[in-house]
C-alpha cells in the first residue's frame, strides 16, 4: 500500500534537507534528537545517494545552479521539492529496492534536477514501514523530456523551475500504483477522493471499521480491491469477467463502452467509471494489457536473470576452478623456483668457498715466490711484476680454470723469458747473417766468415743451456765484431811484448845482483836516488778504502733501526729514505737492499705490503732529489752545467 506525498520547500538552507535525511528527528515536533553532549545523532539505518550532484556538496551545487540561472532569489520562492513514497509495512522490500524505486520515479517525473534520494526503514507513528525521500532543487540543471502531463515548455526546459501540477501528480500516483501492483506490493487507490486524505487517518479508519477482516469500509472499496488483485492474474478483460462471475458470483453487465459490477448482496450495481480512475472498461482493458506485458517482461526478465545467474554461476565455478588450478600451478612453480634458487645459492656458496680456497692457496704460493725472489742475489724485476699481476684480490670474478692455473716458478718464468728472447735474438741474428752475407766483401773484411760463424752459433744455440744474462747480451754488429777482433789482436801483440820485456828485466836484475858494491858513495847516491821515488809512489798511490757490500749496508741499516727505533714499523718514511739512500737508477740493487734489511730485522710482509713499503721510500727519495736539484743555481753550478752539456 504505497502512497505519494509532495511538500514544497521554501527554506533557502539546502543543508537542512541533508541533515533531515541523515540524522534522527522527532516525528511529532520535527526537531533533531540530541545526545547527552548536545550533538545531533545520526540515523541508525539509511541509504542516501545523489543524482547529478554529490551528497556532501548538494547545497553548494544547488546555490551555484540558482545563481547561474538567476532563480530562487525571493524569500517566497520554492527552493526545493520534497516527495515521499511510503510503502505498506507488510511489503517485503529492502532499502536498496526502495532506493531504486525512488530513482526510477525521479527519472520519469523530475529528470535533469540535482536531487538527493534517501531510503528509511523506520516510518512514523510506529508503523516502521519503508519509505523513500526525494529532495531536489526546484531549478532544472539539465534539460528534461517532454511528457503528456506537461503544459508549457518551461516544465522540461533547462534552467526552468519544476511545477507540481495536478495533472503531474495524477500521473505520478498512477505510476506508483502500477509499479506496486506489478511488483506485488499492497496498494490502495490513490486517485479517489476518499484516498486523498491523510494516509494514517485512512489507515486507522479502515482498521477500526473492518468487519470481515479485509479492512474495507464500502462496496466500492471491496470491488476495487478484488479487481486490483485479479488484474495481475488474468490475461484479458473477458477472463476477468469470467473470474468475477464464476468465482465470486458477481453479476456483470458489459456494454460497448461501460461495465457495471453488482455483488451478490447489492441491490444496484456500480458502474466502473464511478469507482475511480482506472476502473472503466477501456481503462481495465488497458490495465490488463499493461499488466500482461509487464508480467511477460518480468517473467522474461526473471528467466533471463535465472539464465544469467546459471551462466554466471557456471562461469564463476569455471573461473574458481581455473583460479584454483592457477594457484596450485603457481604454488608448484614457486616451490620449484625456490628449490632451484636454493640449489643455485648453495652451488654459488660452494663455488665461492672453493674459489676462496684456491685463491688463498694461490696467493700463498705467490707470496712465497715473491719473497724468495726478493731475498735472492739475482733479483728478477720482470718476475716480480709477473707475481704482482698474479695476485688474486677478487676471487669471485675469476673462474675455477683461472684460479687453477699454476704460478710459474722463477726458473720456469726465466726459461719462458729465455725462449721468448732467444726467438727474437735468432730472428735478428738471421737478418744480420743475410745482410752480412750479401753486403760485406770477404776480401776486404777478413773477419766476415768468423762473424757469420758467430751469428750461426747464436741462432742455433740450445735454449736449455742458456742463462738469462746470456740472452740479455746484445748481438754485435759487424762493425762492433770487427773492432773487437782488432782489439784482441792488439792486446795479443802487447801481451807478447810485455812478456819479452819481463824476460829482459829479469836478466838485467840478475846481472846487477852479481856485481858487488864498489864504494860507500855509490850506496849513498843509490839511497838518495831511491828515497824520492818511494815518496813519489806514496803520493801517487794513496790508500783507497774498500766500499761496503750490499749485505754489509743491510746489516748497518738494520743495526741503526734496532738502536734508535726498536721496530721497523716505527721508522718514519723520511728516515727510511735517508738510511737506504736509493739510487733509483738501479732498481734491482735497491729492492735487494730493501729485502735484506727486512730479513735482518726478521720482518715478514705480503708481496703487496712489501711493494707499497718500497714505493713509499722511493717516492720520498724522488721528492728529496727533485728538491735538491731545484735548489741548485742552474747557471752558476758546474755540476748542472756539465750535466746539461
Predicted pLDDT at 502:
55
Mean pLDDT of 114-118: 94
Sheet holding 115-120, edge to edge: 3-9, 80-86, 131-137, 115-120, 47-51
Nearby residues of 54 by Cβ (< 8 Å), 6 or more positions away: 61
pLDDT level of residue 239 (50, 70, 90 thresholds): very high
Predicted pLDDT at 550:
84
Predicted pLDDT at 613:
86
Which of 128-132, 235-239, 403-407, 526-530 is most confident? 235-239
**What's the Cα-to-Cα distance from 181 to each of 84, 169, 229, 282, rounded to whole Å?**
18, 18, 8, 19
d(CA 641, CA 639): 5
Predicted pLDDT at 108:
92
- Residue 483 pLDDT > 60: yes
Classify the C-alpha dihedral 600-601-603-607 as positive or negative: negative
Grid coordinates belonging to 318: 569455471
**What's the Cα-to-Cα distance from 289 to each of 232, 236, 295, rounded to whole Å?**
10, 7, 10
CA atoms within 13 A on the CB side of 148: 3
Closest alpha carbon to 1 in 169, 193, 200:
200
Mean pLDDT of 65-93: 90
Rg (CA), the chain: 64
- Strands 251-254 and 270-271, by their bridges, are unpaired
d(CA 138, CA 455): 122
Q: Mean pLDDT of all residues in the chain?
A: 81
Predicted pLDDT at 510:
52
Mean pLDDT of 252-273: 90
Phi-psi region at 498: left, alpha or beta (left = phi > 0; alpha = psi -120 to 50): alpha
pLDDT level of residue 274 (50, 70, 90 thresholds): confident
Grid coordinates belonging to 218: 464500502
* % pLDDT > 90, the chain: 24
pLDDT level of residue 509 (50, 70, 90 thresholds): low
Count Cβ atoms below 10 Å from residue 176 Cβ, excluding itself.
Answer: 21
pLDDT level of residue 132 (50, 70, 90 thresholds): very high
pLDDT level of residue 344 (50, 70, 90 thresholds): very high
Q: What DSSP element (H or E) covers 58?
A: helix 58-69
**Greater pLDDT, 251 or 126:** 251
Closest alpha carbon to 122 in 47, 224, 38:
47
Grid coordinates belonging to 530: 831511491
Predicted pLDDT at 66:
92
- Residue 30 pLDDT > 80: no
Which of 18-27, 29-38, 285-294, 508-517 is most confident? 285-294
Predicted pLDDT at 508:
52
Which of 28-42, 188-202, 261-275 is most confident? 261-275
Predicted pLDDT at 521:
45
List pLDDT tens digits, range 619-635: 888 766 666 655 544 33
**What's the Cα-to-Cα distance from 223 to each of 201, 203, 229, 290, rounded to whole Å?**
21, 18, 10, 20
Which of 23-32, 281-290, 566-575, 605-614 is most confident? 281-290
**What's the Cα-to-Cα distance from 501 to each of 207, 491, 513, rounded to whole Å?**
172, 15, 18
Nearby residues of 362 by Cβ (< 8 Å), 6 or more positions away: 390, 392, 403, 407
Residues 110 and 42 sit within 8 Å (Cβ to Cβ): no
Q: What DSSP element (H or E) covers 154?
A: none
Closest alpha carbon to 451 in 403, 416, 486, 497:
486
List pLDDT tens digits, range 301-337: 889 888 988 998 899 999 999 999 999 999 999 999 9
d(CA 39, CA 46): 19
d(CA 610, CA 463): 33
Predicted pLDDT at 401:
87
Predicted pLDDT at 639:
37
**Greater pLDDT, 608 or 523:** 608
d(CA 588, CA 609): 18
List pLDDT tens digits, range 136-192: 999 999 998 888 888 888 889 999 999 888 888 989 998 998 888 888 887 777 776
Grid coordinates belonging to 356: 676462496
Predicted pLDDT at 211:
43
Nearby residues of 91 by Cβ (< 8 Å), 6 or more positions away: 1, 2, 129, 130, 185, 186
Predicted pLDDT at 52:
92
**C-alpha 340: how far from its chain's center?**
24
d(CA 334, CA 359): 36
List pLDDT tens digits, range 188-216: 777 765 433 344 544 544 554 444 444 44
pLDDT level of residue 404 (50, 70, 90 thresholds): confident
Residues 227 and 284 sit within 8 Å (Cβ to Cβ): yes
- Residue 518 pLDDT > 70: no
Predicted pLDDT at 527:
39
d(CA 439, CA 450): 15
Mean pLDDT of 354-377: 88
Strand, coil or helix: 637:
coil
Grid coordinates belonging to 477: 754488429
Phi-psi region at 263: left, alpha or beta (left = phi > 0; alpha = psi -120 to 50): beta
The DSSP string of 399-455 is -HHHHHSPPPPHHHHHHHHHHHHHHHHHHHHHHHHHHHHHH--TTT-TTHHHHHHHH
Q: Which of the residue ranges 88-97, 113-122, 416-425, 581-590 would you say has the lowest mean pLDDT?
A: 581-590
Mean pLDDT of 78-87: 92
CA atoms within 13 A on the CB side of 52: 21
Amino acid at each position: 500500500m504505497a502512497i505519494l506525498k509532495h511538500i514544497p520547500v521554501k527554506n533557502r538552507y539546502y543543508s537542512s534537507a541533508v541533515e533531515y535525511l541523515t540524522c534522527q528527528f522527532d516525528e511529532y515536533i520535527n526537531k533533531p534528537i540530541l545526545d547527552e553532549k548536545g550533538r545531533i545523532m545520526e540515523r541508525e539505518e539509511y541509504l542516501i545517494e545523489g543524482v547529478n550532484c554529490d551528497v556532501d556538496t548538494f547545497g553548494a551545487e544547488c546555490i551555484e545552479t540558482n545563481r547561474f540561472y538567476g532563480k530562487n532569489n525571493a524569500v517566497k520562492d520554492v527552493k526545493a521539492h520534497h516527495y515521499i513514497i511510503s510503502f505498506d509495512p507488510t511489503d517485503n522490500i529492502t532499502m536498496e529496492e526502495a532506493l531504486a524505486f525512488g530513482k526510477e520515479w525521479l527519472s520519469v517525473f523530475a529528470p535533469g534536477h540535482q536531487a538527493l534520494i534517501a531510503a528509511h526503514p523506520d516510518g512514523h507513528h510506529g508503523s516502521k514501514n519503508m519509505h523513500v525521500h526525494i529532495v531536489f532543487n526546484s531549478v532544472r540543471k539539465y534539460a528534461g523530456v517532454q511528457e503528456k502531463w506537461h503544459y508549457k515548455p518551461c516544465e522540461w526546459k533547462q534552467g526552468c523551475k519544476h511545477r507540481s501540477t495536478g495533472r503531474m501528480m495524477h500521473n505520478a500516483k498512477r505510476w506508483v500504483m502500477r509499479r506496486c501492483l506489478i511488483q506485488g506490493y499492497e496498494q490502495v487507490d490513490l486517485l479517489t477522493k476518499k484516498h486523498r486524505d491523510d494516509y494514517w487517518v485512512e489507515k486507522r479508519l479502515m482498521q477500526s471499521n473492518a468487519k470481515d477482516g479485509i479492512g474495507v469500509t464500502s462496496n466500492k472499496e471491496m470491488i476495487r480491491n478484488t479487481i486490483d488483485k485479479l488484474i495481475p492474474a488474468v490475461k484479458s478483460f473477458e477472463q476477468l469477467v469470467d473470474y468475477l462471475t464464476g468465482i465470486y458470483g458477481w453479476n456483470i453487465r458489459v456494454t460497448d463502452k461501460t461495465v457495471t459490477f453488482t455483488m451478490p448482496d447489492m441491490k444496484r450495481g456500480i458502474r466502473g467509471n464511478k469507482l475511480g480512475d482506472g476502473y472503466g472498461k477501456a481503462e481495465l482493458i488497458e490495465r490488463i494489457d499493461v499488466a500482461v506485458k509487464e508480467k511477460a517482461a518480468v517473467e522474461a526478465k526473471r528467466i533471463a536473470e535465472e539464465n544469467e545467474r546459471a551462466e554466471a554461476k557456471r562461469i564463476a565455478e569455471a573461473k574458481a576452478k581455473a583460479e584454483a588450478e592457477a594457484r596450485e600451478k603457481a604454488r608448484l612453480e614457486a616451490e620449484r623456483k625456490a628449490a632451484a634458487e636454493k640449489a643455485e645459492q648453495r652451488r654459488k656458496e660452494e663455488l665461492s668457498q672453493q674459489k676462496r680456497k684456491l685463491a688463498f692457496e694461490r696467493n700463498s704460493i705467490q707470496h712465497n715466490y715473491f719473497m724468495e725472489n726478493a731475498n735472492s742475489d739475482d733479483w728478477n724485476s720482470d718476475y716480480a711484476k709477473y707475481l704482482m699481476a698474479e695476485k688474486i684480490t677478487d676471487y669471485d670474478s675469476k673462474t675455477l680454470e683461472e684460479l687453477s692455473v699454476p704460478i710459474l716458478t722463477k726458473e720456469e718464468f726465466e726459461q719462458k723469458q729465455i725462449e721468448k728472447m732467444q726467438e727474437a735474438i735468432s730472428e735478428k741474428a738471421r737478418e744480420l747473417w743475410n745482410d752480412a752475407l750479401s753486403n760485406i766483401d770477404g776480401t776486404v773484411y777478413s773477419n766476415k766468415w768468423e762473424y757469420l760463424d758467430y751469428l750461426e752459433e747464436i741462432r742455433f744455440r740450445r735454449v736449455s743451456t742458456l742463462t738469462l744474462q746470456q740472452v740479455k747480451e746484445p748481438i754485435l754488429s759487424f762493425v762492433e765484431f770487427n773492432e773487437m777482433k782488432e782489439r784482441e789482436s792488439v792486446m795479443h801483440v802487447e801481451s807478447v811484448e810485455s812478456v819479452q820485456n819481463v824476460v829482459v828485466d829479469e836478466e838485467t836484475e840478475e846481472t846487477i845482483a852479481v856485481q858487488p858494491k864498489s864504494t860507500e858513495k855509490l850506496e849513498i847516491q843509490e839511497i838518495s836516488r831511491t828515497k824520492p821515488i818511494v815518496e813519489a809512489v806514496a803520493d801517487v798511490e794513496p790508500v783507497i778504502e774498500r766500499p761496503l757490500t750490499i749485505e754489509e749496508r743491510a746489516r748497518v741499516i738494520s743495526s741503526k733501526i734496532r738502536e734508535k727505533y726498536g721496530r721497523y714499523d716505527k721508522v718514519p718514511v723520511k728516515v727510511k729514505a735517508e738510511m737506504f739512500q736509493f739510487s733509483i737508477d738501479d732498481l734491482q740493487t735497491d729492492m735487494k737492499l730493501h729485502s735484506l734489511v727486512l730479513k735482518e730485522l726478521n720482518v715478514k710482509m705480503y708481496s703487496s705490503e712489501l711493494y707499497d713499503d718500497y714505493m713509499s721510500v722511493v717516492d720520498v727519495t724522488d721528492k728529496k732529489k727533485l728538491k735538491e736539484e731545484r735548489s741548485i743555481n742552474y747557471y752558476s753550478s758546474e755540476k748542472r752545467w756539465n750535466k746539461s752539456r
